[in-house]
Chains A and B, each alone.
Chain A
Amino acid sequence: MNADTVILILVATITAGVPLIFAALGELVVEKSGVLNLGVEGMMIVGAISGFMVAAESGQLWLGVLAGAGAGMLMALIFAFITLTLMANQVATGLALTIFGIGLSAYMGQAYSSVALEGIKSLHIPLLSDLPVLGQLLFSYDPLVYLALLLFPLLVWFLYHSRGGLVLRAIGESPTSAHALGYPVIRIRYLAVLFGGAMAGIGGAYLSLAYTPLWSEGMTAGRGWIALALVVFATWRPGRVLLGAFLFGGVTIAQFHVQGLGVDIPSQFLSMLPYLATIAVLVLISRNAKTIRLNAPASLGQAFHREVH
């Protein structure tokens, strides 16, 4: 494997990780507020078809991305209403949201599986993109990749260095205490869930508008579930979510390269590697039980009954 191959693998790793980063960081915020939304896959795929439809009809790719975010939020709103206002079980509702999303997207997309779309193109930054090595490694992506990488520090700042983030985490730890202090638990959880929906929607729209600019049924192919798993295995820490997403993307790409180079390892084993490697690494670096307890939102998945307290 020469230097060029390594660069190519790294570049492909970044883009492969991006849909997971959007969805997983969104879900991280949701879970930090104490809500468990298992509907990520459903929100993602509805975001994918909505983004594709709007982009195909309007010719505006960016409108498509916005539509993806909006559709994800609408899906999240359904979830929020059922679990936060009606206080239904979050696990069951989240699962239902995924099933609903997969069906709904198939229905919405009936007429769009034949549409060919010029996807979102990589940026070409004069001078910078032409630099040897660095140009390709740092300045050869489409704008959504930079958006994902920009969102990460913003999110870290919000969660750990802003007042809003402190309130959000407090609600996730102990909604009753936060409520007693006068914080609007339900409203903030609503906002967190909507944010998670928008992020999952963008993740889906990234797939249908930039990564593989096409619509076909079930095209998210389980990436929403991977994003969910990343949040848990990263023990609710944003840095590790990012690491996990890149690790997953990287091992996926690397195993294709290994196959292409003709290394004698069964491809079925290689296909399993991304899952295995990501889980193994995240579990190993996060195996301290105390930090897991510190990071896991204590009220995760429990409904908040205002009246009782």
Chain B
Amino acid sequence: MTNPFTTQRKPRLKTLLGSVLVASSLLLGAAQAEDKLKVGFIYVSPIGDAGWTYQHDTGRKALEEKFGDKIEVKVLDTIPEGAEAERVTRELASSGYKMIFGTSFGYMNPMLKVAKTFPDTHFEHATGYKTTDNLGNYNARFYEGRYLAGMVAGSMTKDNKLGYVAAFPIPEVLQGINAYMLGAQSVNPKIEMNVVWVNSWFDPGREREAADTLIDQGADVITHHTDSTAAVIAAQEKKKYAIAYHSDMSKYGKDAHLTAVTHHWGDYYIKQVQSQLDGTWKPGSIWGGIKDGMVDLAPMNDAVPADVKAKVEEAKGKIKDGSLHPFAGPVVDQDGKEIVAAGSNMSDEDMSKMAFYVKGITGKLPK
């Protein structure tokens, strides 16, 4: 968000509407049958048709399809992180929801607090790192998909220059940037990449401006780690290529959209709810990747040659069976310092604290 007024005002309205909705729907819900397992989902943004929350909701739909009448699912979207999230989680827990999924990083501490007061309710938090007896966390290795997407980008660029529109310099975003670059370098060692930070998860105008800037500076394949489809649209209009994130965005750029790194939560939700029904649920700390079906690539554009597709498929197979790690040594940072030695892979812990650019990325990492 670019303006302090909107960031205050919008959630306030949402809060108001949200609380009315929650209150009224909980009253309604309480009147219904008690024997069904009640499952709640809390999203940070509107569901929309593409993006982070949309992918979680697609998983939620798969869950409902699978279990049908056995479960009762409630979805609460656009719940701001912090105090509001805590209130909503508490309301769900106190009205009989035995399993609650929260899908934003900032829900971690609120959920932790509520979990303490509802020991019989099971909580699942996405993208966090804390666990208790009744709180598990789950996340996906998006960087695995990024590596494969980087291979596509590196094969398709004519000018050996890639562009990356990024939101905030946090480890998850940096994992994506570096894996993408390493994937591109694996097929094309001459590659260079510019990164532009928009300091916002969602502002289509600024995302568009950033994508345009990268294209103006000579990048011919761009990708983004922000929430809107603006970068894909920019590439389509300027007759360049784009690789989308979160969802398949091919309808926003028929010619530009090479592929997308997509998220898939359905199998995980089904597995967790099944274990809850069986009474075997345990708090886990899941970081699933391509092998677990949590990350994938969207169907590729016809413009991508068959040999590139084959190469990517091969690498995907190797990531699945563990013989290829995107951050396999030697990984060298921008200043030439060796981060991972040849013959070893970067540890999960080191990845979760990532704060460097790999060699070949121009510009300094904002600290």
Whether A103 lies near B17 (C-beta < 8 A) is: yes
Contact B209 A222 (CB under 8 A): no
A271 touches B3 (CB 8 A): no
Q: Which residue of B lies closest to A111 (CB)?
A: B49
**Binary interface profile of A, 182-202, with partner B (CB < 8 Å = 1, else 0)?**
000000000000000000000
Provide the residues of chain B in CB contact with A8, threshold 8 Å.
216
B230 within 8 A of A: yes
A213 to B228: give the CA distance in the assembly, Å: 11
Indicate whether A12 sits within 8 Å of B199 (C-beta atoms), given known contacts A99-B13, A103-B13.
no
Instruction: Let me know if B113 is at the binding interface, CB within 8 A.
Output: no
Please indicate the chain A residues that have their CB under 8 angstroms from the CB of B5 in the complex: 41, 222, 225
Residues on the B chain within 8 Å of A106, using CB = 46
- Verify A113–B48 contact, CB threshold 8 A: yes
In Å, the complex CA distance between A41 and B5 comes to: 10
B9 at the interface (CB under 8 A from A): yes
In A1-29, the 8 Å CB interface with B consists of: 5, 8, 12, 16, 19
Complex contact A102–B13 (CB within 8 A): yes
A268 close to B (CB within 8 Å): yes
Q: How close is A248's CB to chain B, nearest CB, in angstroms? A: 10
**Is the CB of A308 closer than 8 A to any CB of chain B?**
no
> Which residues of B199-249 have CB atoms within 8 Å of chain A's CB atoms?
199-200, 202-210, 212-214, 216-217, 228-230, 233, 237
A259 touches B363 (CB 8 A): yes
- Check A221–B216 contact: CB distance below 8 A: no
Q: Is A231 an interface residue (CB 8 A)?
A: no
- Any B CB within 8 A of the CB of A137: no
- A212 & B367 in contact (Cβ 8 Å cutoff): no
User: Are B2 and A226 within 8 A (Cβ)?
Assistant: yes
Alpha-carbon gap, A259 to B213, bound state (A)? 10
A211→B205 contact, CB < 8 A: yes
Q: Give complex CA distance A84, B194 in Å.
A: 53
Q: Is A69 in contact with chain B by the CB < 8 A criterion?
A: no
A181 interface hit (Cβ, 8 Å)? no
Q: Kindly state whether residue A167 has any CB partner on chain B within 8 Å.
A: no
Task: Indicate if B251 sits at the interface (CB-CB under 8 A).
Answer: yes
Residue A98 lies at the interface, judged by CB distance under 8 Å to chain B: yes
Tell me how far the C-beta of B191 lies from the nearest C-beta in chain A, rounded to whole angstroms. Answer: 15
Interface residues on B, range: 35 or more
Residue from B17, B203, B212, B367 within 8 A of A221 (CB atoms): B203
Q: How far is the CA of A49 from the CA of B80 in the complex (A)?
A: 23
For the A-B complex, the count of residue pairs with Cβ-Cβ distances under 8 Å equals 138
Q: Does A256 contact B (CB under 8 A)?
A: yes
Decide: A267 and B197 in contact? CB cutoff 8 A: yes
| Per-position binary interface string of chain A over residues 81-103, scored 1 when its CB falls under 8 Å from any chain B CB and 0 otherwise | 00000000000000100110011
Q: When each residue 340-367 of chain B gets 1 if its CB lies under 8 Å from chain A and 0 otherwise, what string results? A: 0000000000000000000000111011
How far apart are B93's CB and chain A's nearest CB, in angstroms? 27
Interface residues of A in 264-294 (CB under 8 A from B): 264, 266-268, 271
Flag if B216 contacts A218 (CB, 8 Å).
no
Contact call A261/B208, Cβ cutoff below 8 A: no
Which residues 42-95 of A have a CB within 8 angstroms of B? 95
The answer to whether the Cβ of A127 comes within 8 Å of any Cβ in the partner chain is no
**Assuming the A-B contacts A216-B228, A267-B197, are A260 and B205 also in contact, with contact meaning beta carbons closer than 8 angstroms in the complex?**
no
Bound complex: CA of A109 vs CA of B46, how far in Å?
11
Chain B residue contacts of A156, Cβ below 8 A: none
Q: Is B198 an interface residue (CB 8 A)?
A: yes
The answer to whether B363 and A213 touch across the interface, beta carbons within 8 angstroms, is no
Are A212 and B233 in contact, with the CB atoms below 8 A? yes
Pair A264/B364 contact, Cβ less than 8 Å: yes
Asked whether any CB of chain B lies closer than 8 Å to the CB of A257, the reply is: yes
Residue of B nearest to A229 (CB): B3
Name the contact of B252 in the complex, choosing from A41, A98, A214, A262 (C-beta under 8 A): A214
B26 an interface residue at 8 Å Cβ cutoff? no
Query: Would B10 and A257 count as touching, CB distance under 8 A?
Result: no
Alpha-carbon distance between A137 and B198 when the two chains are bound, in angstroms? 25
Shortest CB-to-CB span from A283 to chain B, Å, is: 18
Flag if B230 contacts A214 (CB, 8 Å): yes
- Whether A150 sits at the interface, judged by CB under 8 Å, is no
- Contact between B205 and A212 (Cβ–Cβ < 8 Å)? yes
Name A271's contact: one of B199, B212, B216, B229 (CB within 8 Å).
B199
| Residues from chain B with Cβ under 8 Å of A263 in the complex | 363
Interfacial chain B residues near A5, Cβ < 8 Å: 216-217
Chain B: which residue is nearest A208 at the CB level? B204
- By a CB distance below 8 angstroms, the chain A residues around B233 are 119, 212-214
B13 and A262: CB pair below 8 A?
A: no
Give complex CA distance A164, B366 in Å. 53
Q: Judge if B1 is at the interface, Cβ distance under 8 Å.
A: yes
Tell me which of B17, B209, B214 contacts A252 (CB under 8 A): B209
Interface 1/0 per residue, B165-202 and A, CB below 8 Å: 00001000000000000000000000000111111101
The reply on B50 being an interface residue by CB < 8 A is yes
- Asked if B229 and A214 make an inter-chain contact with CB atoms under 8 angstroms apart, the answer reads yes
Per the bound structure, the CA–CA distance linking A105 and B344 in Å amounts to 52
User: Closest Cβ of chain B: how far from A42's Cβ, in Å?
Assistant: 10
Q: Would you give the 0/1 interface string for B304-346, flagging 1 where the beta carbon is closer than 8 Å to chain A?
A: 0000000000000000000000000000000000000000000
> How many angstroms between the C-alpha atoms of A218 and B169 in the bound complex?
23
Chain A residue with Cβ nearest B208: A212
Pair B9/A256 contact, Cβ less than 8 Å: no
Cα–Cα, bound, A167→B78 (Å): 47
CB neighbours of A243 from chain B (8 A): none
Q: A222-B3, A266-B366, A267-B196 are in contact. List 6 more A-B contacts (CB 8 A).
A: A219-B204, A219-B205, A225-B3, A260-B163, A264-B363, A271-B199
13 A-B pairs in the complex with CB atoms less than 8 angstroms apart: A12-B209, A99-B13, A102-B10, A207-B204, A212-B228, A214-B252, A216-B229, A221-B206, A259-B194, A259-B195, A260-B217, A266-B367, A268-B366
* 7 A-B pairs with least C-beta separation: A222-B3, A114-B49, A262-B363, A267-B197, A256-B213, A262-B362, A271-B199
